[in-house]
A and B are shown apart, each in its own frame.
Chain A
Amino acid sequence: MKRPLDKGVVVLSLLATLFIVAMLAVILTDVVWHGWAGLSWEFLTGRPVGMTGGGIFPAIYGTVFLVLVMSVAAVPFGVLVAIYLAEYARADSYLYRATRLAVSNLAGVPSIVFGLFGLGFFIQAIGGTMDAALYDGDVVFGQGSILWASLTMAVLTLPVVILTVEETLRSVPRDYREASLALGATRLQTIFRVVLPQSWAGVMTGTILAVSRGAGEVAPVLFTGAAFSMPYLPTRVNDQFMQLGYHVFVLSTQSPDVEATKPQLYSTVLVLLALTFLLNLVAILIRKRMRQWATA
């Protein structure tokens, strides 16, 4: 009983799918095509010269520095929250539902609002208080810095870690826990010696996804420490820093001569994409493996 309309629905939905995949392919191809030629050792390790020459090492360095500090803050915290949600909480308890709501809400907060929060909370409230108490009101921590930017980014990526790790913890079969408890292990021992080692892939995936997200976001660092350009590399946590995403923004919008900036711009985008996109791809592949393994 096929109707002519039937075919139309399938074809239209297939076209929509193909269109999305094609857009993805066009963006990636365009960036690789135009950005490839500019990649060189000098470009990756040199300093920027104006907007048309030199390299982007300070931006790579700043981005890596940022995601490292961010991960140190976000991953342990996120794993503990995930352990609470998956192992301790009862689904009908008030704290469980409040944590759930808070995490999903946090995931939906626009990234620019995290930037405002970083400025209002980390820089003004915490940094300002530290300066008043420790440095006689000299501005040391009450300004944008790589520390505050990293912590702001940690808050932004926290839900990514929590949701990914929780999902993996839940996929560890109940039998494992019961066997461990039956052998006389405490709940804590069961979690840290049995459940968590089984979930290392999830913790990895969560970390990679968080790093990929943190490396690409620009709005949260606009007022929390990203610098237009820096004559030196950040060495202390209260230094400002250059960031790849912000550098892309600056090159795209602030250049007096767009055409002359293009080669530099495309190569910077390629490096940023390689960083975020490849990490994402790795995370997706690990996750896919994990699911197959869990259902096998």
Chain B
Amino acid sequence: MSHSFRRRLDTLSERAIFGVSLAAISIIVFIFIYITREAWPLISGAVRETSLGSVFGPPFQWDPVSVQQPRYNVVPLVAGTLKVTLVAMLVGTPLALGAALYTAEFASHRLREWLKPTVELLAGIPSVVVGFFALIVMASWIQDILGLQYRLNAFTAGIALSLAVIPIVFTVAEDALSAVPATYREASLALGASAVQTAVRVVLPAASPGIGAALILGMGRALGETMIVLMVSGNAALLGFDPFSGARTMSATIAAELGEVVYGGDHYSVLFFIGVLLFITTSGLNWVGERINAGLRRKLFGGV
């Protein structure tokens, strides 16, 4: 191979690799464009019975199969999503943060090497398996312990969902805690603080943006998770604050109904519109979480 040929091959392949990266960027744009396209009749007002006004405004009813007057109002679905997510965060956050604190600060080096991958294995269980376990086993336990009227409800779904949230919150929070430079700890210990005082008063505050990012990323996961809530939440589109009644989330509604709808109809467009809402919400949360994390890294290490 001649020298100049090699150089030209080098330039060419560099351009090709650039091109592939551009394609990777365009995927996320394509996702937005193509789900919005299917929701467009609704957004542009071309669908006869349903409009953005009726999707958000009263009456707040999701009743897509009614014979007289099908109603596609997303408010009960948004409420259901928030209810289940709230339970998942309330249950999952203390556990995940506690485990992150223990793993990063109190566990011996040897134990830490094992704890981190073990907790992260939880993320390796497919969500349909978590849903299966919650539906077949856990729902009965929770019903018996709390004496609940309904076996499947928002509370049980939230507990099951916390199993999907815990690994994310744990990993991001543990990374943030471990990233705090050893000099912070040494300075604190040298001043006579105990290991716990150091962890709680020095390391935790220094890593607090990372902990915030962990919660935000965990919430993004909880809002969009589908199979667990589809199988365990009872799927009743109710508007209310009772955590022990059934709930229907945005993601579960898409999963349960899209297979049965008429292509291009009102219902079809509304389901894609719910997808657009989910996409925008989770992307926003994700973006904020990543920004916080990047900021934290700059603060702790300086530079990039």
Interface residues of A (CB under 8 A from B): 1-3, 5-7, 9-10, 12-17, 19-21, 23-24, 27, 30-31, 77, 80-81, 83-85, 88-89, 91, 95, 98-99, 101-117, 119-121, 124-125, 155, 158, 162, 186-189, 212, 215-219, 222-223, 245-246, 248-249, 252-253, 258, 262, 265, 269, 272-273, 276-277, 280-281, 284, 288
Select which of B128, B259, B275 is within 8 A of A113 by beta carbon: B275
The answer to the question of B58 belonging to the interface, with a C-beta cut-off of 8 Å to chain A, is: no
Most buried by A among B18, B119, B124, B163: B124
- CB pair A108–B106 under 8 Å, yes or no, is no
Most buried by B among A24, A105, A155, A189: A105
The 9 closest A-B pairs by CB, nearest first: A110-B224, A16-B98, A216-B126, A108-B286, A280-B124, A13-B102, A6-B196, A121-B34, A120-B34
Q: Which residues in A have their C-beta under 8 angstroms from that of B102?
A: 10, 13-14, 16-17
- CB pair A109–B283 under 8 Å, yes or no, is yes
List 8 A–B pairs whose Cβ atoms lie within 8 Å, in order of A's numbering: A3-B197, A13-B101, A21-B118, A95-B18, A111-B226, A112-B226, A113-B35, A186-B10
Name the CB-closest residue of A to B251. A112
Name the CB-closest residue of A to B272. A116
- CB pair B128–A77 under 8 Å, yes or no, is no
Q: Which residues in A have their C-beta under 8 angstroms from that of B101?
A: 9, 13
CA distance A276 to B123 in the complex (A): 11
CA distance A252 to B139 in the complex (A): 13
Select which of B119, B272, B304 is within 8 A of A120 by beta carbon: B272
- CB pair A77–B20 under 8 Å, yes or no, is yes
Q: B interface, by DSSP: helix, strand, loop or mixed? A: helix
Q: Which residues in A have their C-beta under 8 angstroms from that of B271?
A: 116
A-B contact count (CB 8 A): 271
A-binding segment of B59-67, B129-137, B180-188, B240-248: B129-137
What distance in Å separates the Cβ of A261 from its nearest Cβ neighbour in chain B? 10
Number of interface residues of B (CB under 8 A): 95
Task: Convert B146-180 into 0s and 1s, putting 1 for each residue whose CB lies closer than 8 angstroms to a CB of A.
Answer: 00000000000000000100100010000000000
What distance in Å separates the Cβ of B187 from its nearest Cβ neighbour in chain A? 16
Task: Convert B263-280 into 0s and 1s, putting 1 for each residue whose CB lies closer than 8 angstroms to a CB of A.
Answer: 000000001100100110
- CB pair A85–B21 under 8 Å, yes or no, is yes
Select which of A27, A85, A188, A246 is within 8 A of B125 by beta carbon: A27
Decide: A284 near B117, CB < 8 A? Known: A16-B99, A109-B31. Answer: yes
Q: Which residues in B have their C-beta under 8 angstroms from that of A15?
A: 98
Q: Which residues in A have their C-beta under 8 angstroms from that of B163?
A: 23
